[in-house]
């Protein structure tokens, strides 16, 4: 049976260290992640080109082999969105692993507890990436409204995803247009769209300006259609150590990789603050720094009120819940998030200038900032 048909999450493991393999097999089994184990480069490359995996786990003991797999994973069309996990000997190998394309890192000697903790965030992101890019074959009537009120194009979908759809249409479409369709059950989606690609019989349409409630309804519907669909993983619990109007630092054993978009919920007493962030700096097994993105004036005001509540309330420890949304690999992922006033934010400036610092050095700089802020 082809691995394309296997339900559930699948991983490829390239490792010849028996102890590491035993720990990973147990962790992956406990987390209901299937594993294909390889001990040599050729068999791993063969599987990468023929089977789909949500994660590729590589022992980097032999750098040349690790480099070929980590680089090759994202050049294989079927696995270009797979998460890459590097097993490394220490901090000195961390930078090169990330440069080769690793999203997560496990340090040797690996332990059962730390590996399972790290893989909670890996699995949560595996699920989100699979759902986000899943294309559900379905025929739905869709209406495309151009700027010319007299020209409305009626088409039928060939498939549907969280990000867009393929439609059966031979008409020439403008660059952007309005679109309206209904999910099975009657839930209507109304948004903007643009042509992503043109085929002989199909056109790919990318959603633009999809309202949050419509996006949520679409995500729920997509999740229900997937084989072996299950509930989202529980949110990753973190400890908030630093907070500004533009960013926050969260201590956790299960940080998400840089460029991960996050849905963060902060709670203190009766006050609850949902906010969107993007990971700018990640320290395996220790924590992550997230920049807040797409903040409206109203959202910024709610954040100001939240910070003021923390300052005025003695000893509050905010509850923090974090869920991954997606990994943004676009070239301008960070530059597009610039907002007014953030250039003067010391915390965000540290994220920008200190992303390459060793974890210990970064946290020393973070502590200096806290002392400076508390002495004002």
Tell me the CATH class for 236-374: mainly beta
pLDDT for the residue 3: 37
pLDDT for the residue 362: 94
pLDDT for the residue 376: 59
Half-sphere exposure of 56 (CA within 13 A, CB side): 29
CATH number given to 3-132: 3.40.50.2300
* Strand order across the beta sheet in which 104-107 lies: 33-38, 9-14, 55-59, 83-88, 104-107
Which helix or strand (DSSP H or E) is residue 26 part of?
Answer: helix 18-30
Give pLDDT tens digits along the chain (376 positions). Answer: 333 445 588 999 999 999 999 999 999 999 999 999 999 999 999 999 888 899 999 999 888 999 999 888 877 788 888 999 999 988 888 888 898 889 999 999 998 998 998 898 999 998 888 887 788 999 999 999 888 767 788 999 999 999 899 999 888 888 889 999 999 987 899 999 999 888 878 999 999 888 888 988 998 898 888 765 555 678 888 999 999 999 999 999 999 999 999 999 999 888 899 999 999 999 998 999 999 987 788 888 999 999 988 888 776 678 899 999 888 877 676 664 554 455 679 999 999 999 889 899 999 999 998 888 766 5
This prediction's pTM = 0.80
Q: Which residue has the tokens 């690609």?
A: 197
d(CA 370, CA 368) in angstroms, rounded, equals 5
* Phi, psi at 268, each rounded to 5°: -145, 125
d(CA 66, CA 73) in angstroms, rounded, equals 11
Asked whether the beta carbons of 53 and 74 are under 8 A apart, the reply is: no
Q: Which residue has the tokens 């080109």?
A: 49
d(CA 84, CA 363) in angstroms, rounded, equals 26
136-225 and 236-374 have identical folds: yes
Beta bridge partner(s), residue 249: 242, 289
* Phi, psi at 218, each rounded to 5°: -65, -40
pLDDT for the residue 104: 93
pLDDT for the residue 2: 38
Buried b (16+ CB within 10 A) or exposed e, 348-376: bbbbbebeeeebeebbeebeebeeeeeee
The residue extents of the domains of the chain are 3-132, 136-225, 236-374
Tell me the CATH class for 136-225: mainly beta
């Amino acid at each position: 049976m082809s691995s394309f048909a296997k339900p559930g999450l699948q991983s490829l493991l390239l490792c010849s260290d028996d102890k590491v393999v035993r720990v990973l097999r147990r962790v992956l089994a406990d987390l209901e992640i299937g594993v294909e184990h390889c001990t040599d480069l050729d068999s791993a490359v063969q599987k990468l080109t023929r089977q789909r995996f949500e994660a590729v786990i590589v022992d980097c003991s032999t750098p040349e082999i690790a480099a070929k797999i980590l680089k090759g994973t994202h050049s294989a069309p079927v696995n270009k969105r797979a998460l890459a996990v590097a097993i490394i000997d220490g901090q000195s190998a961390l930078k090169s692993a990330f440069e080769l394309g690793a999203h997560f890192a496990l340090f040797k000697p690996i332990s059962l507890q730390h590996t399972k903790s790290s893989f909670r965030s890996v699995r949560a992101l595996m699920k989100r990436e699979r759902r986000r890019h899943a294309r559900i074959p379905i025929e739905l009537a869709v209406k495309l409204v151009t700027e010319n009120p007299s020209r409305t194009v009626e088409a039928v979908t060939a498939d549907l995803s969280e990000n867009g759809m393929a439609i059966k249409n031979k008409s020439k479409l403008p660059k952007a247009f309005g679109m309206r369709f209904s999910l099975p059950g009657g839930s209507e989606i109304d948004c903007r769209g643009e042509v992503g690609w043109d085929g002989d019989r199909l056109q790919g349409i990318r959603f633009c300006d999809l309202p949050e409630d419509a996006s949520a309804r679409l995500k729920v519907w997509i999740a229900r259609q997937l084989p072996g669909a299950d509930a989202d993983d529980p949110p990753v619990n973190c400890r908030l150590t630093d907070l500004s109007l533009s960013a926050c630092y969260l201590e956790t054993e299960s940080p998400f990789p840089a460029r991960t978009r996050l849905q963060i919920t902060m709670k203190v007493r009766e006050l609850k603050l949902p906010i969107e962030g993007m990971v700018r700096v990640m320290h395996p097994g220790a924590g992550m720094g997230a920049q807040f993105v797409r903040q409206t004036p109203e959202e910024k005001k709610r954040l100001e009120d939240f910070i003021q509540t923390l300052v005025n309330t003695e000893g509050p420890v905010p509850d923090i819940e974090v869920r991954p949304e997606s990994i943004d690999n676009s070239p301008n992922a960070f530059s597009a998030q610039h907002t007014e006033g953030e250039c003067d934010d010391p915390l965000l400036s540290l994220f920008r200038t200190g992303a390459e610092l060793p974890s210990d050095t970064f946290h020393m700089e973070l502590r200096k900032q806290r002392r400076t802020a508390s002495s004002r």
